[in-house]
Amino acid sequence: MCARIEIGVELEIVKTGNPVLRQQARPLTPTEIASQEIQKLIESMRKTMHDAPGVGLAAPQVGLSLQLAVIEDREEYHKEVPAEQLRERERRPVAFHAIINPRITEMSGDTVEFFEGCLSLPGFSALVPRARTVRVEFLNERGMKETLEASGWHARILQHEIDHLRGTLYIDRMHPRTFTSLDNWNQFWKGKPISESKTLAGSTLHSEHSA
């Protein structure tokens, strides 16, 4: 099923170019979810996500083509973020949860655009349009069915991680002209309104992301 995992061990995050990031991950059965192997994997992914640090991590990002992702947006991550930016992004703390075999069953027609990064593409960021709200059906770490409705930054994280399980990266959805190194983002883009960022990227900027 997957390599033997020791509980609490930090895993290696694979980088863009690894074929596993472009595969359609396979679903897990309830029996597999209950197994010691998958339970250890969830804990190890949680540790790896914290140590990165990040707010989400999908199994393909640690080299395993499985429909499993972990998410947690800790309050401590918000301390250095201006209050205005937190409000604009509708970003609030999100408790740890695992999503297994997730399926987006509904998403809002209104989209929002913010800069987004990825642990599998370190050192870069780009402006990515996402649905503002989503409804997701999934199995939790106990194999129980759940439905989650999320908005704002939590909805963005869910869409980003579910994309990973379908072989899609944020660079497939980004506004290409906004793709930037983090050093340049900090120098030229940080703190600017999205409208100004789009102007910086060029007056001809329009939605060129793939579906």
pLDDT tens, residue by residue, 108-132:
999 999 999 999 999 999 999 999 9
Task: Write down the catalytic residue from 137, 161, 196, 208.
Answer: 161
Over range 86-106, report the average pLDDT. Answer: 97
Over range 164-168, report the average pLDDT. Answer: 98
* 104: phi then psi, degrees, rounded to nearest 5: -80, 115
The structure's pTM equals 0.90
Q: For 66, which DSSP code?
A: B
Q: What residue ranges do the domains of the chain occupy? A: 19-201
Over range 77-93, report the average pLDDT. Answer: 92
Domain 19-201 has CATH 3.40.50.720: no
C-alpha separations of 160 from 56, 81, 187, 193, 206 in Å: 8, 21, 25, 22, 21
Position 204 pLDDT exceeds 80 = no
**Residues 6+ away with beta carbon under 8 Å from 159:** 104, 107, 130, 131, 134
* 197: phi then psi, degrees, rounded to nearest 5: -60, -40
**Is-catalytic flag, 161?**
yes
Going by C-alpha positions, the residue among 58, 72, 69, 70 that lies closest to residue 20 is 58
Is the bond preceding residue 27 a cis peptide, omega within 30 degrees? no
Over range 164-190, report the average pLDDT. Answer: 94
163 within 8 A of 190, measured Cβ to Cβ:
no
pLDDT of 90: 96
**To the nearest whole percent, how much of the chain has pLDDT over 70?**
91
pLDDT of 9: 63
Residue whose tokens read 């080299």 = 63
Going by C-alpha positions, the residue among 117, 125, 114, 124 that lies closest to residue 195 is 114
pLDDT of 8: 52
